[in-house]
Copies of this chain bind each other. A is one copy, B any other.
Amino acid sequence: MDAKVLKYIEDHRDEYVELVRKLCQQPSQASTGEGIPEMIELVVSSLKAVGAEPRLCETPGNPVVYAYIEGENNKHTFGFYDHYDVQPVDPIELWDDDPYSAVIKDGVIYARGVADNKNGLATKLCAVDAYMKVYGKIPCNVKFFVEGEEEIGSPNLPYFAEHYEDLLDCDGFNWESGWKEPGGAPEIHLGNKGLLYVEYVVKTAKMDAHSCNAAIVKNPAWRLIEFLTSIKDPKTDRILIDGFYDDIIPPTEDDIENLKQDNFDEEGQKEYLGIDGYIGGLTGLELLKKNYYMPTANICGMVSGYIGEGSKTVLPGCASAKMDFRLVPGQKAEKILQLLKDHMHKNGFDDVQLIVHSYQDPFRAAPDSPFVKAVYSTLDELFGTPVVHYMVSGTSPMPLFCKKKNIPAALFGATSTKANIHAPNEHLEVESYIDEIKMIAGVMEALGKLD
């Protein structure tokens, strides 16, 4: 990678750290609206400072800040997706410092948003800045997309993707950031599961009644259980919705090869979660295949009747459960939703109310696309052989930006999985932050070198 740019980044560490601190010192909670207008101004002025002419793309909610900067090679474009909103700071009493002070202690910055994901915007701004300062130009075009509602589920991102579709063209996206443990190998994530999040509500009476009625009055908790066991057999873990598995594209030989290099820490994760083992006693390759390539019907929560201390003899009037289906390549969220509705109707569960919270298709970026190759070679050069994950078990809104135009997207960056995102004492090592600036700058350079 360009030595002058690398040196410039190193020489201006303090200035760049100040930028992310400044972004973090501005509260910006989408859930309450706190600080959002001020944050938008800050994003706009920060983009202007690196030579962009940002545009506010209005949506029914907070606007998406968009900015395009043309590069020396203007045939290739690096897309940046980040968000300017952050999680709430509660429980505030568990923070060691003011979450908006962005205090630095022992080379670590502590602030709400410093790892999720104001670092993402900051590192991209710094990478652009470094090239601008050294060469007065950047190697390839870049497009910033900075949304303001990620932490409340990006409710207006579908609207944005539809109404500003023309803006989305690019060689590939960096989605927020990614993981590289301090001293560890960089990671590249190229795909993720889809999601269908629903809630089931069974209401049998207008109130909870005395449980002496239980012999003759229907119990909604039992009815919910009857319904849930029609969705999945808890014993076999098999989802029982007709057609649910039909469209799944099983992992290819290449996918399996990729899994064989996966660095999933079986023991570490067991210890972290405090579990004895994995479902079915799976380990190794079989565990990874299930983790990344098998869908789920997971009960996120359920509640009915009396849940306080001790005993109360009550016959509940209502029962509900929240469920997320994680979907794998080949499955389409809308189709699965339809299959679920058909299942409910066909099996006589019309008394179960279905609430659809959100859905998102699964997504995969082609590992052999020029963009992904550029990311790989850059990270390889800077930090050693990357660990490439074709799939992760989580979900992202990447398909909204990428699916229609078949644009690749990659999560990569230098945050830690132990950065306490969404939790008190969110933090990021200064060293990791600087590494991430180098990654972005390096990929810009690599894209600039493409034909």
A→B interface (CB under 8 Å): 153, 193, 195, 197, 199, 204-207, 209-219, 221-223, 225-226, 228-229, 232, 234-235, 269, 273-275, 278-279, 282, 287, 290-292, 294-296, 298-307, 310-317, 319-322, 324, 326, 357-358, 392-395
Q: Which residue of B lies closest to A283 (CB)?
A: B216
A312→B326 contact, CB < 8 A: no
A-B contact pairs, 19 of them (CB 8 A): A153-B310, A206-B273, A211-B296, A212-B326, A212-B394, A212-B395, A214-B296, A216-B278, A216-B290, A217-B278, A229-B229, A229-B234, A299-B304, A300-B311, A302-B305, A303-B304, A307-B322, A312-B322, A313-B324
Q: Nearest CB to that of A230 among chain B residues?
A: B235
CB-CB under 8 A for A211 and B316, given A279-B218, A300-B305, A305-B299:
no
Q: Tell me which of A153, A206, A322 has the highest count of chain B C-beta atoms within 10 A of its own C-beta.
A: A322
Top 7 nearest A-B pairs (CB, nearest first) are A206-B274, A301-B305, A214-B298, A226-B234, A301-B306, A221-B299, A212-B393
Write the chain B residue with the least CB distance to A203: B274
Q: Which residue of B lies closest to A357 (CB)?
A: B311
Inter-chain contact A211/B300, CB cutoff 8 Å: yes
A211 touches which of B215, B219, B298 (Cβ 8 Å): B298
Q: A294: which B residues are within 8 A, CB to CB?
A: 215
Nearest residue, chain B, Cβ from A227 = B234
Contact yes or no, A210 B275, CB < 8 A: no
Nearest CB in chain B: distance from A81 CB, A = 19
Question: Which single residue of chain B is at the shortest CB-CB distance from A304?
Answer: B302
Q: Which of B222, B290, B304, B320 contacts A234 (CB 8 A)?
A: B222
B287 A216 Cβ-Cβ under 8 A: yes
Q: Are B300 and A306 in contact (CB under 8 A)?
A: yes
With a 10 A CB-CB cut-off, give which of A226, A235, A301, A315 has the most chain B CB atoms.
Answer: A301
Task: Check B326–A300 contact: CB distance below 8 A.
Answer: no
In the assembly, what is the distance between CA of A216 and CA of B287, in Å? 7
Instruction: Give Cα A287 to B217, complex, Å.
Output: 10
A314 to B321, CA, bound (A): 12
Known interface pairs A195-B313, A211-B298, A324-B211; A232-B228 also in contact (CB < 8 Å):
no
Question: In angstroms, how far is the closest chain B Cβ from the Cβ of A8?
Answer: 38
**In the complex, which residues of chain B have a beta carbon less than 8 angstroms from the beta carbon of A299?**
219, 221-222, 225, 304-305, 316
Most buried by B among A199, A302, A320, A392: A302
Q: Which residue of B lies closest to A271 (CB)?
A: B206
User: B residues within 8 A CB of A300?
Assistant: 211, 305-306, 311-316
Q: Which residue of B is nearest A199, CB measured?
A: B311
Identity of the chain B residue whose Cβ is nearest the Cβ of A210 in the assembled complex: B394
- Apart from the given pairs A214-B296, A300-B315, 16 other A-B contacts in the complex at a CB distance below 8 Å: A205-B273, A207-B274, A211-B326, A212-B393, A212-B394, A213-B269, A215-B296, A215-B326, A219-B298, A229-B234, A273-B317, A300-B306, A301-B305, A301-B314, A302-B307, A310-B357
Whether the Cβ atoms of B301 and A304 lie closer than 8 Å is yes
B313/A205 in contact, CB under 8 A: no
A314 to B299, CA, bound (A): 8
Tell me, rounded to whole Å, the shortest Cβ–Cβ distance linking A273 to chain B: 5
Give chain B nearest CB distance to A426 CB in angstroms: 16
Least CB distance, A191 to chain B, in whole angstroms: 13
Q: How far is the CB of A333 from chain B (nearest CB, A)?
A: 14
Task: From known contacts A226-B235, A275-B204, A307-B302, infer whether A214 and B326 are also in contact, taking CB-CB under 8 Å.
Answer: yes
- Is the Cβ of A302 less than 8 Å from the Cβ of B205? no
A335–B412 CA distance with the chains assembled, in angstroms? 61
Report the bound CA distance from A17 to B354 in whole Å: 54
**Inside 8 A of A218's CB, which chain B residues have their CB?**
275, 278-279
